[in-house]
Chain A
Amino acid sequence: MGILKNGFSGLRVLKEGLTGNKGWTPHWRDPEPKAEYDILIIGGGGHGLATAHYLASVHGLTNVAVLEKGYIGGGNIGRNTTIVRANYFLPGNSEFYSHSLKLWEGLEQDLNYNVMHSQRGIFNLFHSDAQRDAFVRRGNAMINQGDDAILLDREGVRKHLPYLDYDNARFPVFGALHHPRGGTARHDAVAWGYARGADSRGVDILQNCEVTGIDIEGGGVKGVQTTRGAIKAKKVGIVVAGRSGQVAAMAGMRLPIESHVLQAFVTEGLKPVIDNVVTFGMGHFYISQSDKGGLVFGGDLDSYATYAARGNLPMVEHVMEAGMTLMPMIGKAKILRSWGGIMDMTPDGSPIIDKTDIEGLFIDCGWCYGGFKAAPASGHCFAHLIATGRPHEAARGFRIDRFRTGYGIIDEEGTGSQHNLH
């Protein structure tokens, strides 16, 4: 198998280093599209590539193509702030993200690829008695799910994060819910690793191949139209994140999805200073430090429907204010870049992995601002659904009809199931 022939190992790095690094080869092929495949995956982001990898590695289905309109790593998979966690509260989400974290923990071995998964721990800070009570409940739900959560008081937090403004007049730090198995990973390496894993098993990864139409006959899918020609297939999976509405419209569907922009920021490289993930409980601000030294941080959605992959200044201002409130020490760091990505927001803030009313057409969408950590389980469960026709146990709550029926809404934040509330 290709993966073994071109496998990465310490020995190989040493050998290549001593022989001028001339033996490295592209991580995946650049094939011409075939006229027909068994399965087409529309969208070569983290979720689409993971789906292809698990179709091949778990189900042995390799006559598969991933159709990506741009280049691998150009979508949200290469734009997120890389936080990986399993700290959800509600049934439906809880078991799914738990499943995902377990896949993360074996991912580098599975892919033979260094995705720099770093379980550096997450600290969700709380700033009032009521917020502590809510975090106690969340922590218990995490433990009941078999994951890890530790409640820390103020002094307990101080041992890990000495640099916070504990006595801030408005938002003093009361404590934190610590999730030691949470952390970060290198986002684009996840895309590359899955692409290589799928390709080495025979999956064709077709870049610069935009899907422009979905062919449906007699209530069943027959294939797609693309900028690189028509391609036939009896099974098609839509996994296009922020563009879900448009691709679904090619099949005559309207989705319970609105697209919004989420912004993020990175500073110049600094010496190691923040060695975990920290989230503020009284404003939209969370932060970690990349291995290159940049402080990577972000906040909330701009909160209006948009496809412009850039935000407006009010959210920038809010994030900076929140950051300065929590950790004034970062005030002198210079921001190098800011950017935005388009999020597929559902009314209840939870995703969809389901069949559609069209035979052979499947959809995986609605990842909102939290789909990076979900990529392994999303791919694993979507592959299961496409291969077997049945939902995977860990994703059975992610039904598309929960909005129409009102049954099984997964409103993690408890704010209501309505488009502008998540």
Chain B
Amino acid sequence: MRINCPICGDRDHREFYYRGAAMARPDPDAGEAAWDDYVYLRENPAGETRDLWYHASGCNAWIVVSRNTLTHAITSTELAAES
């Protein structure tokens, strides 16, 4: 699997640290259910998904990767800061 870093270009996925589903962080006082949702509960889709990867051995950017969990095909990548 190769991930297209918006800053560095196509790189081997070993350069990246996988963080998990890209989800919007709730407000600090959004309550227990919202935080349980964010920290633990997952849609865990078989198909299209968006997740966060950190380019640890590259430019240190956080990247949102859109990919297919059934085929490993990556459809798009964007900087988390801009998504």
Contacts and interface: CB of A to CB of B under 8 A. Distances in A.
Interface of A: 243, 245-246, 249, 254-259, 303-308, 312, 314, 347, 403-404, 418-420
A303 B36 contact: no
Given A307-B69, A307-B70, A404-B32, A255 B18 contact: no
B37 interface: yes
Contact of A257 (B32, B37, B44): B44
Contact of B69 (A256, A306, A314, A403): A306
Q: Which 3 A-B pairs have the closest CB atoms?
A: A245-B44, A256-B40, A254-B41
Contact of B42 (A254, A306, A312, A314): A254
Interface of B: 1, 12-14, 18-21, 32, 36-37, 39-46, 49, 51, 69-72
Of B1, B21, B37, B71, most A-chain CB atoms within 10 Å: B1
A399 to B, nearest CB: 13
A255 B20 contact: no
Contacts, number: 70
B42 to A, nearest CB: 5
Contacts of A403: 36, 39-40
Of A249, A304, A347, A419, most B-chain CB atoms within 10 Å: A304
A419 B42 CA distance: 9
Q: Is the interface of A mostly helix, strand, loop or mixed?
A: mixed
Contacts of A419: 20-21, 40, 42
Contacts of A254: 37, 41-43
Q: Is the interface of B mostly helix, strand, loop or mixed?
A: mixed
A258 B46 contact: no
B56 to A, nearest CB: 13
A245 B43 contact: yes
Given A305-B49, A404-B36, A255 B41 contact: yes
Contacts of B13: 304, 312, 314
Of B32, B36, B44, B51, most A-chain CB atoms within 10 Å: B44
Contacts of A258: 20-21, 42, 44
B19 A257 contact: no
A307 B46 contact: yes
A304 B43 contact: no
A305 B71 contact: no
A257 B69 contact: no
A256 B70 CA distance: 20
A305 B65 CA distance: 12
Contacts of A243: 46
A312 B1 CA distance: 7
B55 to A, nearest CB: 14
Contacts of B46: 243, 246, 259, 307
B44 A255 contact: yes
Given A245-B43, A308-B70, A404-B32, 12 more contacts: A245-B45, A246-B44, A254-B42, A258-B44, A259-B44, A305-B20, A305-B49, A347-B40, A403-B39, A418-B39, A419-B42, A420-B20
